[in-house]
C-alpha cells in the first residue's frame, strides 16, 4: 500500500497541474483571509482568531479535493493501466485505501503552509490575550477528517468513470450535498431538524469549537468507510470483467 500512496504523490506532483492546483488553493485562502474585503477577512473582523479561515476552508475543499481525486482511478481506467494494477499482489481494499491516503497526503501537504496563519495571528494578539489553542487544534482535526471524507468520496466517483470531468463534478456535488444540505434543510424546516446531524458541517463545527467528540470522529469514519467500501466493490466488479 505504501507503493500506491507514493505513486499517488509522484503522479500528482509529477506534473505542473499538481503544483498549480495547490498554488490556487493557497492563493485563494490567502486572498480571502488577508486581502479581499469579505466576511472571511481576519484583519477586518477585529478579532484575533481563525474562525473565518476554518469556516472557509471546507468550501474551498469542495473544489480543491475533487480536482485532486478526479484522475486517481479515472486516468487508470482511460489509459488501461487499471487492468495491470489489479493484477498486482494487493487486495482491492488496500488499493482503494492507498488511493484515499495518497490523496489525503496531498491535502495535508497543502494545509501545512496555513500553519503560518496561526503564527502571524499569534504575533498580532495583544500582550494580555492569547489565541484559543483548543479551538485551533480541534479545527485542524476537523479539516483533516472532512478532507479524508471528501477524498473517499472523490476516489469513489473516480472509480466509476474514465472521464475526469465527470468524476470531478460527481465528487463536488456529492460532497456538497453531504456537507451542507442536511444542516441547510434543518435550518429552513425546523420540523426536520433531526436531519442536521446527518451532515458533515454539523460535526465539523462541533470539532471546531475545540470539543473532540468521539461521536463526531466516528461519523467521519463511517462516511469514509462507506465510500471506501463502494470503491472496493467497484474495483472488484471491474476485476471480474477483466478476468
Q: What are 64-105's pLDDT values in tens digits?
A: 999 999 999 999 999 888 888 888 888 899 999 999 999 999
* Residue 105 grid cell: 497526503
- Exposure letters 165-204 (e unless 16+ CB within 10 A, then b): eebbebbbebbeebbbebbeebeeeeeeeebbeebbbbbb
Low-confidence stretches of the chain (pLDDT beneath 70): 45-48, 126-129, 191-192, 242-243
Residue closest to 151 by CA, chosen among 220, 207, 241, 51: 220
Sign of CA dihedral 202, 168, 151, 243: positive
* Residue 166 grid cell: 465527470
What pLDDT shows up at residue 242?
65
Query: Whole domain around residue 128: which residue ranges?
Result: 2-242
User: Distances in Å between the alpha carbon of 148 and those of 77, 93, 97, 153, 185?
Assistant: 23, 16, 11, 9, 24
* Residue 4 grid cell: 500506491
What pLDDT shows up at residue 119?
87
The C-alpha atoms of residue 106 and residue 69 are separated, in whole angstroms, by: 10
Residue 240 CB-half CA count within 13 A: 5
What pLDDT shows up at residue 162?
93
What pLDDT shows up at residue 36?
84
pTM: 0.93
If phi > 0 it is left, if psi is from -120 to 50 it is alpha, else beta; for residue 80 that is left
**Are 200 and 218 a contacting pair, CB within 8 Å?**
no
User: Is 96 exposed, middle or buried (CB count within 10 Å of its CB: 0-12, 13-18, 19+)?
Assistant: buried
- Count of the separate structural domains present in the chain: 1
What pLDDT shows up at residue 187?
79
Amino acid at each position: 500500500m505504501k507503493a500506491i500512496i507514493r505513486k499517488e504523490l509522484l503522479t500528482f506532483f509529477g506534473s505542473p497541474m499538481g503544483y498549480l492546483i495547490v498554488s490556487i488553493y493557497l492563493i485563494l485562502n490567502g486572498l480571502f483571509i488577508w486581502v479581499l474585503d469579505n466576511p472571511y477577512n481576519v484583519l477586518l473582523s477585529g478579532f484575533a482568531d481563525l474562525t473565518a479561515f476554518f469556516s472557509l476552508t471546507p468550501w474551498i475543499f469542495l473544489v480543491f479535493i475533487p480536482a485532486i481525486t478526479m484522475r486517481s482511478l479515472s486516468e487508470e481506467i482511460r489509459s488501461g493501466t487499471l487492468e495491470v494494477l489489479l493484477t498486482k499482489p494487493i487486495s482491492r481494499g488496500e488499493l482503494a485505501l492507498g488511493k484515499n491516503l495518497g490523496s489525503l497526503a496531498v491535502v495535508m501537504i497543502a494545509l501545512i503552509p496555513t500553519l503560518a496563519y496561526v503564527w502571524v495571528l499569534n504575533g498580532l494578539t495583544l500582550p494580555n490575550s492569547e489565541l484559543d489553542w483548543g479551538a485551533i487544534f480541534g479545527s485542524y482535526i476537523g479539516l483533516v477528517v472532512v478532507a479524508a471524507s471528501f477524498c473517499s468520496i472523490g476516489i469513489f466517483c473516480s472509480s466509476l468513470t474514465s472521464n475526469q470531468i465527470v468524476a470531478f463534478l460527481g465528487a463536488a456535488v456529492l460532497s456538497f450535498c453531504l456537507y451542507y444540505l442536511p444542516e441547510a434543510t434543518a435550518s429552513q424546516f425546523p420540523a426536520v431538524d433531526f436531519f442536521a446531524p446527518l451532515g458533515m458541517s454539523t460535526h465539523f463545527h462541533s470539532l471546531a469549537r475545540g470539543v473532540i467528540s468521539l461521536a463526531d470522529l466516528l461519523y467521519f469514519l463511517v462516511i469514509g468507510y462507506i465510500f471506501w467500501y463502494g470503491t472496493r466493490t467497484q474495483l472488484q466488479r471491474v476485476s471480474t470483467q477483466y478476468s
